Amino acid sequence: MYFHDVIGQDDLKARLTDTARRGIIPHARLFCGRMGCGTFPLALAYARYLNCSDRTDTDACGKCHSCRQYDALAHPDLHFVFPIVADKKRKRTVCDDYLGEWRAMLTERTYFDLDEWLDRMETAGRQAIIYAEESDQMIRATSLRIYEAQYRVLIVWMPERMHAACANKLLKLIEEPPARTVILMVSDAPDLILGTILSRTQRLDVRPIEADALARALEQRNGLPPDDARRTAHLAHGDLLAAERSMGDDERQCLFLDFFIRIMRNAWKRDVRAMKQTADELAALSREQQRAFLAYCQHLVRENFVRRFRSDDLNYLRPDEAAFSARFSPYVNERNVFDFAAELADAERHIAQNGNAKMIFFDLTLRITVLLKK
């Protein structure tokens, strides 16, 4: 992964390369944002750039010994920490035991999320964490002599999933970092990270990918026609993974639309029994699907509000969505649109924090009953 492989994010790439050239390198940096926006690719490209022996002003050279080792993800001074599902029967209890699967995934794609990683481990649907045993591995990796790089780099993916004992060891590493050691953390839920870790890291917020850059990437990477790429990029809100999931995923889109319609109708009718049934069905989805559904709801609310202004060039709805919006859009107006967005965003945050999904969706529907009457 090079900076030129990262989609968009030109301002962040310029900032990272500029500070590296000037020797301003914090020993702990936190990349925050949705996984589909490029948090991990930025961290990996930055690690490569730090150790490239012949880097340019904008990227690593791709030819030096360090770059060749990074190409194989086998640099002796590059270490990874990531959530796993321990399998004591097969004696797989630390990240190094899954390093083969990890490298294979990163060789194929560097934009990924937890669900994809769980599939790679063949542990879909199970809870992945960074276990306490990993703390000893981190201490050992950072205490060894640096082999040949200018910096030893430790990349921690999803530190919010660390066991408390492991998080405390990471905190100690950050407070007393070994010489020439850089710790790069990548998180899509920074609020769940230990507060003392947050306060000792330099945070870098990764914004959604610019729509034009994402559309170009969808044309080049996925072969979409320009019009389809533009529409898909708009619907994805700057998230490559969301864009890829939406491509050819008509079944899920129809499911999400059906749930959205049911929530709104149940709220309008104040049908508590139907509200509970719909909440139970939504709670049966995976956490990632629940978050994707709530993001989809935010998109539909926005599109229904824009529809009121009759700006077709700014409206991106599928035919089935447009048919429903013809009747629903009058209920999304200046008096409630911001409250709608806030309630849906809060629900998505609570789901990300592993809240009770049944209660979250039921409570959300109750709140919508009030908003629809505004």
| Number of structural domains the chain divides into | 2
Across-strand partners of 154?
A: 79, 183
In a domain, residue 278? The reply is yes
In a domain, 273, yes or no: yes
Residues 24 and 153 in one domain: yes
> What is the SS3 assignment for 130?
strand
Q: Give dist(CA 337, CA 202) in Å, integer.
A: 34
Report which DSSP code applies to 194: -
239 assigned to some structural domain: no
306 in the same domain as 177: no
Q: Are 125 and 118 in contact (CB under 8 A)?
A: yes
Residue 13 forms part of a structural domain:
yes
Cα 283 to Cα 62, 115, 127, 162, 346: the distances in Å are 46, 17, 16, 25, 16
Domain C-terminal end among 188, 205, 222: 205
Residue 152 sits in the same domain as residue 27: yes
Q: How is the beta sheet containing 78-81 ordered, strand by strand?
A: 78-81, 152-157, 181-187, 28-32, 202-205
Residue 186 sits in the same domain as residue 281: no
What distance in Å separates the CA atoms of residue 183 and residue 171, rounded to the nearest whole number?
A: 11
Q: Which DSSP string corresponds to 74-108?
A: --TTEEEE--B--BTTTTB-SGGGGHHHHHHHHHH
Domain assignment of residue 223, yes or no = no
Backbone angles phi, psi at 113, to 5 degrees: -130, -175
Which residues neighbour 218 within 8 Å (Cβ) at sequence distance 6 or greater? 224, 228, 229, 232, 233, 243, 247
Q: What angle do CA 178, 180, 185 make, to 5 degrees?
A: 80
CA distances 246 to 110, 239, 317, 332, Å, are 19, 11, 13, 24
pLDDT in tens, 67-85: 999 999 989 999 999 999 8
Are 193 and 280 part of one and the same domain?
no
| 121 SS3 class | coil
Per-residue pLDDT of the chain (374 residues; tens, 9 = 90+): 899 999 999 999 999 999 999 989 999 999 999 999 999 999 999 999 999 999 999 999 989 999 999 999 989 999 999 999 887 777 788 888 899 999 999 999 999 998 889 888 887 778 889 998 888 888 888 888 888 888 999 999 999 999 988 999 899 989 888 888 999 999 999 999 988 999 999 999 999 999 899 999 999 888 888 888 887 888 788 899 888 887 766 678 889 999 999 999 999 999 999 999 999 999 999 888 898 899 889 988 988 888 877 665 556 677 788 888 888 988 988 899 999 999 999 999 999 888 999 999 999 999 999 999 87
Measured distance CA(284)–CA(290) in Å, rounded: 9
Question: Residues 155, 270: one domain?
Answer: no
Identify the CATH number of the domain in which residue 353 sits.
1.20.272
Q: Which domain holds residue 138?
A: 3-205
Check whether residue 196 and residue 298 sit in a common domain.
no
Residues 267 and 185 in one domain: no
pLDDT of 142-178, one tens digit each? 888 888 888 999 999 999 999 988 999 899 989 888 8
Query: CA 112 to CA 210: how far, in whole Å?
Result: 18
- Tokens standing for 32? 């925050």
User: Which of 176, 205, 234 is the C-terminal boundary of a domain?
Assistant: 205
Cα–Cα distance, 220 to 229 (Å, whole number): 10
Q: Are 194 and 61 within one domain? A: yes
Do 200 and 287 belong to one domain? no
Judge if 161 and 304 occupy the same domain: no
Q: Is residue 230 part of a domain?
A: no
Which of 311, 305, 270, 293 has the alpha carbon at shortest distance from 357? 293
CATH value at residue 113: 3.40.50.300
Distances (CA, A) of 135 to 85, 125, 155, 165, 311: 16, 25, 14, 7, 55
Domain assignment present for residue 159? The answer is yes
Q: Decide which of 189, 205, 221 is a domain's last residue.
A: 205
Indicate if 22 and 133 belong to the same structural domain: yes
**Would you say residue 348 lies in a domain?**
yes
